[in-house]
A and B are shown apart, each in its own frame.
Chain A
Amino acid sequence: MHANTHHLEELESESIYVLREVAAQFEKTALLFSGGKDSIVVSYLARKAFWPAKIPFALMHIDTGHNFEETIVYRDEWVKKIDARLIVKYVQDSIDKGRVKEETGYNASRNLLQTVTLLDAIEELKLDACIGGARRDEEKARAKERFFSHRDEFGQWNPKNQRPELWDLFNGKKNIGEHFRVFPLSNWTELDVWQYIKDEEIPLPSIYFSHKRECLSRDGQLLAKSPFLKLKDNEKYEERIIRFRTIGDMSCTGAVESTASNIDEVIEEIAASRVTERGTRADDKRSEAAMEDRKKAGYF
């Protein structure tokens, strides 16, 4: 194994075990792929877990339509590289069908709407497990997630009635219509992910590294210029040297000013950073329990 540190080898082994457990316990699984580094690492681990066979489930991208172009280019190349199958479901389709209503106003985002598209896809494809790249260190509601997280027939999470998860015995039993969310990276931290990406030489979308971009500074956030952003009268774009710490919907993923242009510099920057990566996400700032509420409703 290539990993340089024991704790990364332990984490890798644990994640591979979890992924194999998913393939063995569930009928139809999808790996939720956003083009962000965490879902990239999960799909890479899936490649490892089943090699030399193909990954026995598809990658699924819930596309808000508000993407960074670099992410989509990367996504299509990556899927080929790991010899995987890709399903794309569009939030635009949910809007057209009248399933959801687009948010309006200056902070409008399609982030919340994704949940409906995701749950519709789960129902349509009869998925009984969705693998996600969420980590417990990201956010306080996520700190309480199980590896195998049960969802009722409405796709909802009930944090007060989670199944106890003991040893490495994962209980994936469910009734028809219910499903599981599975999080193989539960015990990884942001820094673990980056060190692993470095050790394994995993390619990443270019926007994770420093580049020049026109940005808007709003409420302490740096948002990338995009056709989806509505400017207020006194606002204007400025050119900044930035990179992204997380990748999501363009309208709510904030950039950080950074000159870190390669992986070593990124690791150095994170190690010295005093703000969490979700601190760059406008979607988490809506209220103190924003993530908990979205998770209960069926969010990633």
Chain B
Amino acid sequence: MISARKQLWKTVKKPVIFDCMKDSNGHKPLVPTTRGLLRFFTAGSVDDGKSTLIGRLLYDSKSIFEDQYEAIKRTSELRGEEQVNLALLTDGLRAEREQGITIDVAYRYFSTPRRKFIIADTPGHIQYTRNMVTGSSTANLAIIMIDARNGITEQTCRHTLITSLIGIRHIIVCINKMDLVGYKEEVFERIRSEYEKFSSKLEVVDVQFIPIAALTGDNVVDKSKNMPWYAGSTLLYLLENIHVASDENLIDCRFPVQYVIRPQSDEYHDYRGYAGKVAGGIFKKGDKVMALPSGTMSKIKAIDTYDGPIEEAYPGMSVTMLLEDDIDLSRGDMLVREHNQPKVEQDIDMMICWLNERKLVAGGKYLIKHSIQDAKCIVKDVQYKININTLHRIEDDKEVKLNDVARISIRTTKPLFFDSYRKNRRTGSMILIDEATNETVGAGMIL
């Protein structure tokens, strides 16, 4: 989501290298260079070894601290395990350690000299698929784990479908536990071709395959001696070097007003700033802008920040807009360009991933959060569900349950300003909230 901005900033900012980043005595330094941030998530079925893989990445990149390592070593010994169980690093909640599975999304951070990473370790169990959706919504890249002994499962298909739905363009398929299938190339190739057959029907730009053994570290950070037939890169090398194409839309200017800043002090008597995060396009001082929903025109007088005014603002930047004219904007309004407006409609079609045990009710009313706008909606129609194994449409069963993906139509109480999700992840996404429980029940991607 960030890489475009990253690129643009690169021309402005000089990276700072601290002395401590120098690689002395073979130790990998913990301070990242300023190459930037990669957010990725991991998904797989129960026992595919996700947590072990992450533990391995953290351990081999020397991002695990001694006290953490000592703690899991003690626990592993108590449980009578032969090796230090690296999965214990991410399975933080008591219930998870008891059951040996990951329940919730755990966020992990590690750095190498090349990059800084945020990992969302997401649960494999079907009951917690909603957390995978959560983890993936902010990611640029997905790691999908497959147990070499089992090959592709229903969960693999579901996770891949969600990855594609959520707009992630890069997938690394890790075929894990190669040690348990004798490191055989045929096993790897068979799973790979099966997966390719399945994923070719989806909109995923870039899929790469790596045979690994997370438990022993083969092909995670260091190249495996057990699989000389594999000529590709290790997982860490790929993560460090993969070029994550821009998810940001730099063309269509969208600035949702998040908060109005009025100091009401003597010094800033007439100050009226529209604070928010740029959701699309590049805004420049002096640009003519149009305010929605009023349609009023004005010009950007200044783009303000605590550190002083700036000339331009890119997607993802939190800034404060000052306008030439005294027009009355409030939270939920949007600044756009006159000749490049989002859709402003009340009838919206979208794909939805259902996140709650209470089923989606056709004709039901839900609260909506979309960009900065709040509204209510009524679900007019469930058009079809998707069979996550075949990707076929299911038209005869329209009951949308937990973990289902469906295409629905809604009507909102007021017009929303939106783009299609494919065009802009920020203005094309919304959540549905159950009014009775206040829970987030649906993740919507506008078509």
List chain A positions with a Cβ less than 8 A from chain B. 1-2, 4-7, 9-10, 12-14, 16-17, 20-21, 23-24, 47-54, 136-137, 139-141, 143-144, 159-160, 162-171, 173-175, 186-187, 189, 191, 195, 264, 267-268, 270-276, 279, 288-289, 292
Contacts and interface: CB of A to CB of B under 8 A. Distances in A.
A97 B443 CA distance: 47
Interface in B244-297: 258-259, 261-265, 267-268, 271, 275-277
A64 to B, nearest CB: 25
Interface centre among B105, B370, B371 (most CB of A within 10 A): B105
A109 B30 CA distance: 33
Given A10-B6, A171-B440, A274-B66, 16 more contacts: A1-B305, A5-B34, A9-B317, A10-B5, A16-B318, A53-B263, A136-B109, A140-B106, A141-B92, A143-B107, A164-B443, A168-B426, A169-B430, A189-B109, A191-B30, A288-B97
Given A20-B318, A163-B439, A144 B106 contact: yes
Nearest to A50: B261
Contacts, number: 203
B438 A175 contact: yes
A4 B36 CA distance: 12
B130 A164 contact: yes
Nearest to B16: A4
B116 interface: yes
A168 to B, nearest CB: 7
Contacts of B371: 169
Interface stretch (B7-15, B232-240, B409-417): B7-15
A13 B37 CA distance: 14
B231 interface: no
B98 to A, nearest CB: 10
A174 B429 contact: no
B440 A163 contact: yes
A7 B32 contact: yes
Given A140-B106, A144-B106, A173-B433, A17 B31 contact: no
Contact of A166 (B94, B108, B137): B137
A289 B259 CA distance: 39
Nearest to B8: A6
A20 to B, nearest CB: 4
A299 B210 CA distance: 43
A258 to B, nearest CB: 14
B429 A169 contact: yes
Contacts of A9: 9, 317
Contact of B105 (A144, A169, A189, A279): A144
A6 B90 CA distance: 27
A7 B93 contact: no
Contact of A187 (B95, B118, B369): B118
14 contacts: A6-B10, A10-B6, A53-B263, A136-B107, A143-B106, A144-B92, A144-B93, A166-B440, A167-B138, A169-B370, A191-B111, A195-B31, A271-B30, A276-B68
B368 to A, nearest CB: 9
Contacts of A21: 258
- How many chain B residues sit at the interface, stated as a range, is 35 or more
Nearest to A284: B67
B426 A167 contact: yes
B424 to A, nearest CB: 11
Contacts of B242: none
A159 B370 CA distance: 26
Interface centre among B94, B104, B259, B318 (most CB of A within 10 A): B318
Given A163-B439, A166-B431, A53 B261 contact: yes
Contacts of A48: 305-307
A7 B65 contact: no
B307 A275 contact: no
Nearest to B32: A7
B208 interface: no
A285 to B, nearest CB: 9
Interface centre among A5, A10, A167, A267 (most CB of B within 10 A): A167
A160 B181 CA distance: 35
A156 to B, nearest CB: 15
Nearest to A9: B9
Given A144-B104, A279-B65, A52 B271 contact: yes
A288 B78 CA distance: 13
A175 B65 CA distance: 41
Interface centre among B29, B262, B277 (most CB of A within 10 A): B277
A6 B94 CA distance: 36
Contacts of A162: 104
A51 to B, nearest CB: 4
B34 A24 contact: no
A229 to B, nearest CB: 23
A176 to B, nearest CB: 11
Contact of A17 (B68, B318, B440): B318
B107 A186 contact: yes
B66 A275 contact: yes
